[in-house]
Amino acid sequence: MPVNPELYFDWAATAIPDQDILEAALKESLESWANPSSVHAAGKEARAALEKARSDCAAVLGVGAKQIIFTSGGTESDHIPLLAILNRPEKGNVAVSSIEHPALREMAEELKKVGIECRLIPSDKNGFVTPEAVLQTVDAKTLFVSVMAVNNETGAIQPIQKIAAALEEAYKGKRKPRFHVDCVQALGKVPIDFLNEPGIDSAAFSAHKICGPRGIGILYLKKEEEIFLRGGGQEGGVRSGTENLFGAIAFAKCLERHAISAPVAEAKNGGKAKSAARFEEQKEWTASFIKGLLSIKGCEIIPKARGLLSQENFSPWVVQASFNKIPGQVMLRALDAKGICVSTGSACSSKKASRPILEAMGVPAAQRETSVRFSFGPKTTQAGMQALLDAIKEVCAAFN
Q: How far apart are CA 45 and CA 286, in angstroms?
A: 46
CA distance 127 to 238: 33
CA distance 209 to 15: 5
- Residue 291 contacts residue 297 (beta carbons within 8 Å): no
* 341 is known as an active-site residue: no
Q: Which of 125, 177, 132, 133 is nearest to 156 (CA)?
A: 125
Residue 174 CB coordination number (10 Å): 7
Cα separation, 329 vs 372, in Å, equals: 8
Distance CA 281, CA 108 (A): 38
Task: Give the side-chain half-sphere CA count within 13 A for 53.
Answer: 30
370 with 325: CB under 8 angstroms? yes
Strands 117-121 and 318-323, by their bridges, are unpaired
Answer yes or no: are the C-beta atoms of 130 and 212 closer than 8 Å. Answer: no
Measure CA 118 to chain center.
Answer: 22
Distances (CA, A) of 344 to 53, 85, 370: 35, 34, 9
The residue type at 254: C
DSSP label of 316: T
Main-chain dihedrals φ then ψ at residue 70, nearest 5 degrees: -80, 135
Identified catalytic residue from 118, 299, 348, 396: 348
Pairing mode of beta strands 371-375, 318-323: antiparallel
The catalytic residues are: 348
